[in-house]
Amino acid sequence: KNQVEQSPQSLIILEGKNCTLQCNYTVSPFSNLRWYKQDTGRGPVSLTIMTFSENTKSNGRYTATLDADTKQSSLHITASQLSDSASYICVVRAGGYNKLIFGAGTRLAVHP
């Protein structure tokens, strides 16, 4: 069964600190993996997209890594800001399919 699991479920950090969110997937065949940021009451916004040949991709203070062998990805947020408070969702696209498989998300709260 195609699944995407994220950890932790929720996380609280202080402004300025770094954090890392984890994503494990069992999706086959693998096409690409995305990280989305979703503010409360809004639609998800794409942060990064990686195919199996890409190990790391950055978008400003966000850096995603992908290990296709262990089927793990991480999203590292550097120097967190209050505006980083949101849910971060890991999404995997299975090859040949047009639908995406979503994780439940990690809810991040950045406190001053």
Partner 1 sequence: DTGVSQDPRHKITKRGQNVTFRCDPISEHNRLYWYRQTLGQGPEFLTYFQNEAQLEKSRLLSDRFSAERPKGSFSTLEIQRTEQGDSAMYLCASSFSLDSSYNEQFFGPGTRLTVL
Per DSSP, 20 falls in state: E
Residue closer to partner 1 (CB basis): 32 or 63: 32
Among the candidate windows 18-26, 65-73, 76-84, 94-102, which touches partner 1 by CB under 8 A?
A: 94-102
Per DSSP, 84 falls in state: G
Among the candidate windows 16-24, 64-72, 73-81, 99-107, which touches partner 1 by CB under 8 A?
A: 99-107
Residue 64 is a binding residue for partner 1 (CB under 8 A): no
Residue 103 is a binding residue for partner 1 (CB under 8 A): yes
Q: Report whether 71 contacts 54 (CB < 8 A).
A: no
Query: Which residues lie closer than 8 Å to 43 by C-beta, 6 or more apart?
Result: none
Residue 43 is a binding residue for partner 1 (CB under 8 A): yes
Residue 45 is a binding residue for partner 1 (CB under 8 A): yes
Instruction: List the beta bridge partners of residue 38.
Output: 87
Query: Which residues lie closer than 8 Å to 70 by C-beta, 6 or more apart?
Result: none
Residues that contact partner 1, how many (by CB under 8 A) = 24
Closest to 55 measured CA to CA, from 43, 69, 42, 45:
69
Q: Residues in the site for partner 1, rule: CB under 8 A?
A: 4, 31-32, 34, 36, 41-46, 49, 51, 89, 91, 93, 98-100, 102-105, 107
